[in-house]
Chains A and B, each alone.
Chain A
């Protein structure tokens, strides 16, 4: 395997490095096929330790700065979430939930950094009709290629986590890229770099699982019996994972899906509907062809014309 990018918690390289993500590292490409990759990069992952997160929004700030986006200055609507939702200019969002723990009677303020999960089986890519608009690298990063994007919004429908958003400016879809541009030169994502409490870590997926295990052990020692790693198998695992204190109830973290998978509706649309559709249209066309082959055209005979003339004469 190719050397993995450095984790964001260690010192990243300072010397210029050649980008290590290219076309030849693609394992999936929307609405098209790719040759098997020339090499297999080590899978990477971002680990978000919800139990360490203080909701400071440094990640949001770093994301805005690095991606040079321009989210609107909104209003306060009685909550801490700002912007109020993910937008084409805000790829990540702290979501806050005030949760009364029925077991302890204590209030818990659950703060989850929302954003693209970089699914191993990406629903957005599956739904995308535009060849090459969504790609997946062999290290697991799912990236949007804006020059190929047609802005149809199918990725939004395909995503089990409701993440991508379409820009009103250039009509293409945006979401977290896992800072593929940074990762390809050995840097961690901007959010991980900015996170003051190391609630966001980045490294190989294996390393992140190991780190998660040590965190889970710590949480269990503090009484969080159900602490665990959120790496949902329904989408083949994700390259953004959470450490949750209450992994048995992911939905309390601002509706994190318990068992995310690509919606059956989407599967029907991108699977069965296509075959049925082509079959139906093909059958209709074939029926026409066959019919014309076996049944001669329905022509009006001269008799018919005469009958008509007779009728007309009779009535006039």
Chain B
């Protein structure tokens, strides 16, 4: 059991159902800025990636504007993600139990979660997504600067730019794939979205997906008195 699983804002609100605070407002805003920039980056980036998607530049006011704004959004994404990183990196550190969980990963995908070991704040797939995203975003920002010719043309040589643009495109593809998994998982596991909308999940959700986290919270008496008597 580790402190790292417990964020300051995490708290149990007794009631029917039990409600568990998971993300405070700051975290949620941070997340959605990240999400929005990532989507915009994907849309503008894909427009340059393949001619069949060039029409997407229309969303940004045309090719010139898309080209001009894409790197700036990248900068926003980088700092925004950096914010998330600072918030969540500890909770995403790997631990021994992850191994056992992963051994049962198949049960997770087939929906037989009950058979799996209890999970803290994040399960290993979430952790994997987190770290891969972090690495890809660093790769993207570094290679992005190398090909941001408007301001940094002289910082790299043309052969370096060639390698940078290849890495940038491959990293972007990988990031989009990870993002697809992330979004799908959030939708598939019903009740998840509310964590990033209202900031809270139901006790049942926590019990099902992150039982160790819930237990830990309960253990530490991180329970708020209900504001109003339960129904």
| A residues apposed to B, CB below 8 Å | 30-32, 129-131, 148-154, 156-157, 162, 166, 168, 171, 263, 265-266, 268-269, 273-274, 276-278, 280-281, 283-285, 288, 291-292, 295-309, 311-316
Contact = CB atoms under 8 A, between A and B. Distances in A.
B150 A298 contact: no
Main secondary structure of the interface of A (DSSP, over half): helix
Highest count of chain B CB atoms <10 Å: which of A154, A273, A303: A273
B213 to A, nearest CB: 12
B218 A129 contact: no
Contacts of B31: none
B15 to A, nearest CB: 8
B187 to A, nearest CB: 8
Given A166-B150, A265-B163, A305-B17, A276 B207 contact: no
Interface residues of B, number: 61
B17 A152 contact: no
Contacts of A32: 51
A304 B205 contact: yes
Contacts of B158: 156-157, 162
B111 A308 contact: no
Contacts of B181: 284, 288
Contacts of A298: 111, 113, 188-190
B177 A301 contact: no
A273 B12 CA distance: 47
Contact of B188 (A171, A281, A292, A312): A292
B200 interface: no
Ranked nearest first, the 10 interchain pairs of A and B with the lowest CB-CB distance are A308-B203, A150-B63, A305-B204, A31-B51, A304-B204, A277-B173, A153-B149, A288-B184, A315-B218, A300-B204
A105 to B, nearest CB: 34
